[in-house]
Amino acid sequence: MGHEQQEEDEPPRGGAEDVTAADFAAMLTGLILAVHFTMLEQLPGVVAKHAARVGMRDVLIYLADLQQRSCVLLTEHEPPPGKDGEPRELALEGTVAGRAFQRGEILPASSVQQDPNQWWVPLLDGVERLGVMRISTTADSPTNMDDMRVLAGLVALLVVAKRGTSETHARLVRRRQMNVAAELQWRLMQPQTFATDRVVISAVMEPAYEVSGDAFDYSLTASNVYVSIFDAMGHDTAAGLTANLALASCRNSRRQGASLVQSAKAAEALLFEQFGGNRYVTSILADLELDTGLMRWISCGHHMPILIRGRTAVSLSCAPGLPIGIGGNLPITVCESQLQPGDRLVLYTDGITEARRPGGREFGLERFTDFLIRHQTDGLPVPETLRRLIRHHLHYHHGQLGDDATVLVLEWHGPEPYRPGEAADLVGVPEPEPAIRPVPK
């Protein structure tokens, strides 16, 4: 038995060029079968053990913190204080690991003289950026890049499958204490980045640890994409409850086939029943036809959406309705806007544009849209543009926001799917042409 276990744990002899497609497939199969009863913090050890069998060694998993400022090492046990080892935290600004995260590219982890076969590999669940992996390969091989991407893709799926019930994950990605309202909000939010072959969606929400009254939502069918944004009155836990109720009500109505107006009225009735008109949310609810680009939308007392077309930003116009929850009975106007291929729809809350520096000017709509257009022209992925926008916004306000600040960006490609690699570029995900391994007969 001991001899059999030794053979099982031992990597194959030779370099990566000796690993066949069958070897790699067997490793992935073994990894999947091994993690059914594995907790998140045990995942790095299990992954490292199986990856070593195909010549991938010293595998480390780093997960991005909530604000995407750094990546933190995932381990089963904390090392003793003062013990030398791998870095526990990697800044996303000014590091190779950070650049791999930002761009979605595999990058060399060290110079040729140190270790020519050590790499930083982005950890992606679909298009959601989870962190990075560090992987050392035993030798140069034309299939190394694709093999590392495949392994990282599987690990990302496993992280997502395990994180929902993991206190370790919640503590790891938080760099400080979170208030109760933010705890509610983040549990209800969709992933911050999503893409299909015709649409890309990305969103950010700050202050991440004290957010109270802002929320965003999106969902899709085969023919339509629905997006919405909410901004509740106040900056306390009650504001978080109000925003959560409005979002959940609209989501519930939508899933029962309700129209935009019906969804808003159902949320209105629920909030008024709960708070008697003392709490409300402003909101934009929108429904985009994927085949035509026709968008129907309503404004419930909220700032109008912005449409970025090329290097131009235009505020859409619609007769605004009343905020949701105040008990008004005014009619709600459904407006229509025709998007063109490549247009970007921007929904935002007033914490972005109306926040002021102490004794200074507002951040302003012009500064906001100029930033988005400039980084779009530079070719940055949409989620990276929003990550930098929030960093810039926080810096402008000396790190202190007096109101929640939320942005959601949707890009519609048009009735035809993106060209190969085009959607990947928009969200910072590589679209490799896999190297073909010879499969032994």
Residue pLDDT, tens place only, 379-402:
777 888 888 887 777 666 655 665
Cβ-proximal residues to 389 (8 Å cutoff; 6+ apart), any chain: 204, 368, 371, 372, 375, 407
What whole-number distance in Å separates Cα of residue 189 and Cα of residue 233? 19
More confident residue, 16 or 318: 318
- pLDDT tens string 155-212: 999 999 999 999 999 999 998 888 888 888 888 899 989 988 889 999 988 877 887 7
- pLDDT tens string 332-354: 999 999 999 989 999 999 877 76
Average of per-residue pLDDT across 308-315? 90
Predicted confidence (pLDDT) at residue 222 exceeds the cutoff of 90: yes
**With bands split at pLDDT 50, 70 and 90, how would you rate the model's confidence at 437?**
low
**What one-letter code names the amino acid at 309?**
R
What whole-number distance in Å separates Cα of residue 71 and Cα of residue 82? 20
Strand ranges of the sheet holding 281-289, from the earlier edge strand across to the other edge: 214-220, 224-232, 281-289, 294-300, 335-338
H-type alpha helices, 256-287: 260-275
**How many C-beta atoms surround the C-beta of residue 108 within 10 A?**
15
Tell me the HSE value of 438 on the side-chain side, using a 13 A CA sphere: 4
Strand ranges of the sheet holding 89-91, from the earlier edge strand across to the other edge: 89-91, 70-73, 56-64, 128-137, 118-125, 107-108
Calculate Rg over the CA atoms of the chain. Answer: 24
What whole-number distance in Å separates Cα of residue 404 and Cα of residue 413? 30
Of the chain, the percentage scoring pLDDT greater than 70 comes to 84
Average of per-residue pLDDT across 6-13? 45
**With bands split at pLDDT 50, 70 and 90, how would you rate the model's confidence at 7?**
very low
More confident residue, 145 or 82: 145
Predicted confidence (pLDDT) at residue 299 exceeds the cutoff of 60: yes
Closest CA to 267 of 287, 243, 291, 303: 243
SS3 of 143, please?
Answer: coil
- pLDDT tens string 122-141: 999 988 899 999 999 976 77
- CA dihedral for 219, 190, 69, 56, sign (positive or negative): negative
**How many C-beta atoms surround the C-beta of residue 81 within 10 A?**
5
pTM of the model: 0.82
- Contact (CB, 8 A) for 124 and 429: yes
pLDDT at 17: 57
Domains for the chain: give ranges and CATH numbers.
Answer: 2-171 (3.30.450.40), 178-427 (3.60.40.10)
More confident residue, 170 or 12: 170
Q: Which helix (H) or strand (E) holds 63?
A: strand 56-64
What whole-number distance in Å separates Cα of residue 158 and Cα of residue 32? 9
SS3 of 321, please?
Answer: strand
Tell me the HSE value of 105 on the side-chain side, using a 13 A CA sphere: 10
More confident residue, 354 or 63: 63
Dihedral angle of Cα 359, 363, 365, 369, to the nearest 10 degrees = 160
Residue 211 phi, psi (nearest 5): -60, 140
Query: In whole angstroms, what separates CA 303 from the centre of its chain?
Result: 24
pLDDT at 232: 93
pLDDT at 4: 38
**How many C-beta atoms surround the C-beta of residue 128 within 10 A?**
20
Which residue spans within 349-420 are E strands per DSSP? 405-412
- pLDDT tens string 28-39: 999 999 999 999
Angle (CA) 417 105 375, round 5°? 65
Where do we find the tokens 């012009």? 366
Of the chain, the percentage scoring pLDDT greater than 90 comes to 55
pLDDT at 14: 43
What whole-number distance in Å separates Cα of residue 297 and Cα of residue 307? 13
Predicted confidence (pLDDT) at residue 54 exceeds the cutoff of 80: yes
What whole-number distance in Å separates Cα of residue 350 and Cα of residue 302? 9
Predicted confidence (pLDDT) at residue 121 exceeds the cutoff of 80: yes
- Contact (CB, 8 A) for 270 and 245: yes
What whole-number distance in Å separates Cα of residue 61 and Cα of residue 2? 30
pLDDT at 391: 79
Predicted confidence (pLDDT) at residue 8 exceeds the cutoff of 50: no
What whole-number distance in Å separates Cα of residue 60 and Cα of residue 74? 8
pLDDT at 5: 40
Predicted confidence (pLDDT) at residue 279 exceeds the cutoff of 90: yes
